[in-house]
Amino acid sequence: MKQKLLILFILGSSFLHSQNLVWKTNMIDALKMCDEQRKPLLIFFTSSGISQSIQNEVFATRDFLDWSNKNIILLKLDLSDTTLSPEDREQNVKLKEALGIEELPKVCLATASIRKNKPMINKLGLLDYNFGGAKKWISDARMILNGE
Q: Which residues form the domain of 19?
A: 2-145
Per-residue DSSP letters for 75-123? EEEETT-TTS-HHHHHHHHHHHHHTT--SSSEEEEEEEEEETTEEEEEE
| Count of domains observed in the chain | 1
Strand partners, 120: 113
Residue 68, Cβ neighbours under 10 Å: how many? 21
21: domain CATH number is 3.40.30.10
Identify the band that residue 2 occupies on the pLDDT scale cut at 50, 70 and 90: low
User: Judging by DSSP bridges, how do beta strands 118-127 and 73-78 pair with one another?
Assistant: unpaired
Q: Whole-prediction pTM value?
A: 0.84
Q: Which pLDDT tens digit goes with each residue over 64-107? A: 999 999 999 999 999 999 999 999 999 999 999 999 999 999 99
Q: Looking at residue 57, what DSSP letter applies?
A: I
Burial track 79-105 (b if 16+ CB lie within 10 A, e otherwise): beeeebeeebbebbeebbeeeebeebb
Q: Which pLDDT tens digit goes with each residue over 18-54? A: 458 999 999 999 999 999 999 999 999 999 988 899 9
Closest CA to 141 of 89, 81, 67: 67
User: Judging by DSSP bridges, how do beta strands 106-115 and 41-46 pair with one another?
Assistant: antiparallel
- Do residues 32 and 11 lie in contact, with contact meaning Cβ atoms separated by under 8 Å? no
